[in-house]
Amino acid sequence: MSPSFLRTSLTSLLGGKTASVLTKALGLTTVEDLLRHYPRRYAERAELTPLSTLVDGERVTVLAEIRKVTVRPMRQRRGTILEAVVTDGTDVMSLTFFNQKWREHDFTVGRRGLFAGQVSTFRGVRQLAHPEFKLFPDGVEDDAQAVAAFAGALIPIYPAAGAITTWQIQSAVGVLLDQLPELPDPLPDDVLARLGMCSLTDALRLVHRPSSRADADRAIERLRFEEAFTLQVVLALRRAEVMALPATRRVPATSPLLTAFDARLPFTLTEGQRAVAETIEHDLGNSHPMHRLLQGDVGSGKTVVALRAMLLVVDAGGQAALLAPTEVLAAQHYRSITGLLGPLAGRGQLGGAEVATRVALLTGSQRSAQRRRELLEIVSGEAGIVVGTHALIQENVDFHDLALVVVDEQHRFGVEQRAALAAKARDGSRPHVLVMTATPIPRTVAMTVFGDVDVSTLTELPAGRVPVTTHVVVRQEHPAHVARAWQRVREEAAQGHRVFVVCPRIADDDAAHEDTPDLEVPDEDAPAVEMAGVVPLARQLSDGELAGLRVGVLHGRMSADDKEDVMRRFADAGNADGIDVLVSTTVIEVGVDVGQATMMVIMDADRFGISQLHQLRGRVGRAGLPGLCLLVTSAEPGSPARRRLEAVASTTDGFALSALDLELRREGDVLGSMQSGLRSSLRLLEVSRHEDVILAARAAALEVVGADPGLAEHPALADAVAVLRSDEHAEFLEKA
Ligand code: ADP
Ligand code: MG
């Protein structure tokens, strides 16, 4: 049988009218679309839906029993109202129909059925006005189709929408199932046999028409595995393709620059840093590009590891680019790299070391003369290291010989960006890529979202780092604690320490949050109080609570020069124009490294996500000084927002927090950085819940792709993979 049954249009099997309803309501166009529109749950005829759980406004399908039927004339107009009271045995609900007196005959007391509509409350009684319904057969006059549809003990309840009901979907699916041929199976026979799973054909039958829960579970297990497996095959293939790309091996005969750098380092590398450095060195010696993700908690020392890799490729005659997500961070990286390198960055300059290189900085706001100078150093190869924002790779920047790209603090460095890199290296070869992230990624997410890259993890913090102490400060419960917080800020400043104050927005009237794109969607339970804004709060503090201290402001609407200036004054508070307290948005979130910063106050902390808060507080206590973080909130006790904050306060383990974050977030958000073509293929698989499935699928996928990279032996799999990749490709083109 050809795979074309699944690709057949719904129109040709169901007729234009039904097909167009399915397309309009649910976006389904092919047989496969509909067969993979799996039931959301199964209702049991013997088991009534608990009516007390229904929420006003919700669209529901309930299974209930008719208890009472009345017909009365309408008061204001001509016509009748038929009211059927249905029950789950405990609670009741009212169904109202206008001018349908004739239905009285069908609505016999004791009869059960499915009722679908939008829940509302009228005079204290829960109701469905004008619901769609399907009564279960109970007499000779019932139509044969209904008898067949509801004969089983389990009734599938489909995700329905708009003008279509679950039983209409069920009946359309039924038409397809009745002519379902034996389908070619994307899961290889030996994989199926080894895992004891049923065939695709059986799984589709059972998921839509189970005769028992066990049937449905078996089908779902197989279909879920198939999703994980196909995705892992796509990732394994993509990885194999990367391995087949050409890259220049970067193995220096001698490494004078790196050796001189190591000799300068004021500390010894941790065990973990050494191990990762070795792995990267090995990767750089390959003739295919490295694609490695380096993850490690804030302050675990990723930057030093990355810098060593950059120096290695410079020693090998190539160039390295370091891309940061914001200009502030690019400028800071530039400062800290030139600082760490000292005379090693002073090539051609007075006092520069003999083995020295140069570090170029490219930002969007540079004056053109400056920019031209930097570009010249980059194209001539004079600059061994180039620091800039992510825009660097999109722009027309020519490198002499780009060997390594390090991407800082960015998950979203996907397929597209990698493609853009192709144009940057010489002779069609690709640069090696190292992505650093401080948001620890749980294993399952790494395997799903980053399934085609290698992952290295720094698990220990360098010795001497003191974990940050975090407290939740609740405005309405303890107003005195807020006052005490500002007092504490004064004490820190008096000791020559620096303090961050973070706000969720810039100004009072600020709808845009432009530089805080990751701001949490406000929870339903988020308090309606005014959110703190950088500008008004800074004014309030310097006139009041923090009068006499030097209070600075930093946010995304400032020019790059101003931002840079403020950061410098904050870093060198010892100077006459120094800043003690920096009130800012989350522009300081990632990577900002001011050693003397010991305290952070996060206003309206409930507006930020768990990972973001963890990142933010990583900015303090970096130089061996104990750090303090206060999460100021108005969130109610017991609310999800409050629980998030309490979790952040209770541990400094970034991995534990990211696992929690994963549990609390919506699946779509978790997979946010993934191409949506791949993402939307996941209907049953949840990354946060199905680790075992992902592990098994990955192992099987690697085996299959390893043995048969062209998938010649697996035409149905090749087919499924092609569909997935073309969705992904289409999305890429759309964006480009
Ligand atoms: P990350 O980029 O992972 O947040 P950094 O590389 O910026 O961390 O390192 C944080 C701080 O720790 C920096 O000041 C850095 O110089 C310092 N550091 C890095 N590695 C070590 C080490 N092995 N021992 C002591 N300090 C270190
Ligand atoms: Mg860093």
Number of domains the chain contains: 3
What gap in Å lies between CA 601 and CA 482, rounded to an integer? 10
End-to-end CA distance of the chain: 38
Whether residue 261 is found in the same domain as residue 343: yes
Distance 625 CA to ligand 1 centre (A): 14
Q: Give the CATH number, domain containing residue 154.
A: 2.40.50.140
Does ligand 1 lie within 6 Å of residue 296's CB atom?
A: yes
What gap in Å lies between CA 563 and CA 557, rounded to an integer? 9
pLDDT at 447: 74
Does ligand 1 lie within 6 Å of residue 272's CB atom?
A: no
Does ligand 1 lie within 6 Å of residue 593's CB atom?
A: yes
User: 525, 512, 538, 558: which is closest to 603 by C-alpha?
Assistant: 538
φ, ψ (nearest 5 deg) of residue 636: -70, 150
| Ligand 1 pocket: which of 270, 589, 593, 617 to mutate (most atoms within 8 A of CB) | 593
Please list the alpha-helical segments (H only) found in 102-253: 144-149, 166-178, 189-195, 200-208, 213-244
Which contiguous run of DSSP H or E holds residue 312? Answer: helix 302-315
Question: Residue 625: helix, strand or coil by DSSP?
Answer: coil
Q: Is residue 286 part of a domain?
A: yes
Whether residue 579 is found in the same domain as residue 488: yes
Q: Is residue 70 part of a domain?
A: yes
Does ligand 1 lie within 6 Å of residue 674's CB atom?
A: no
Whether residue 356 is found in the same domain as residue 497: no
Atom of ligand 1 nearest to the CA of 464: 25
What gap in Å lies between CA 654 and CA 651, rounded to an integer? 8
Whether residue 522 is found in the same domain as residue 609: yes
pLDDT at 668: 61
Whether residue 296 is found in the same domain as residue 178: no
Whether residue 450 is found in the same domain as residue 526: no
Statement: the pTM of the whole predicted model exceeds 0.75: no
Whether residue 619 is found in the same domain as residue 472: yes
Whether residue 62 is found in the same domain as residue 162: yes
pLDDT at 522: 39
What gap in Å lies between CA 627 and CA 615, rounded to an integer? 14
Q: Give the CATH number, domain containing residue 352.
A: 3.40.50.300
For residue 419, the number of C-alpha atoms closer than 13 Å in the C-beta half-sphere is 8
| Ligand 1 pocket: which of 264, 276, 294, 303 to mutate (most atoms within 8 A of CB) | 303
Whether residue 495 is found in the same domain as residue 450: no
Cβ neighbours of 227 (radius 10 Å): 20
Chunked mean pLDDT (size 10), the chain, 736 residues: 79 94 93 95 84 86 91 86 91 90 86 89 88 76 58 80 87 95 95 96 96 94 96 89 88 94 93 96 95 85 95 96 85 89 86 87 84 92 92 80 86 58 72 85 72 82 81 89 94 93 83 41 44 91 94 89 86 84 80 79 92 85 84 89 91 81 67 65 84 92 94 94 78 52
Q: Is residue 196 part of a domain?
A: no
Distance 14 CA to ligand 1 centre (A): 64
User: 665, 675, 95: which is closest to 416 by C-alpha?
Assistant: 675
Where is the domain boundary, 401, 424, 458?
Answer: 458
pLDDT at 538: 94
Q: What is the CA radius of gyration of the chain?
A: 31
Q: Is residue 689 part of a domain?
A: no
Does ligand 1 lie within 6 Å of residue 425's CB atom?
A: no
Beta bridge partners of 93: 86
Beta bridge partners of 112: 65
Structure tokens at 402: 């780009």
Where is the domain boundary, 458, 490, 524?
Answer: 458
Distance 263 CA to ligand 2 centre (A): 21
Distance 300 CA to ligand 1 centre (A): 6
pLDDT at 675: 64
Q: Is residue 4 part of a domain?
A: no
Domain extent at residue 317: 256-458
Q: Is residue 424 part of a domain?
A: yes
Does ligand 1 lie within 6 Å of residue 302's CB atom?
A: yes
Whether residue 441 is found in the same domain as residue 479: no
Whether residue 448 is found in the same domain as residue 531: no
Q: Hey, what's the torsion of the CAs at 717, 719, 722, 723, to 10 degrees?
A: -110
Whether residue 485 is found in the same domain as residue 447: no
Where is the domain boundary, 137, 168, 188?
Answer: 188
Nearest CA to ligand 1 atom 11: 299
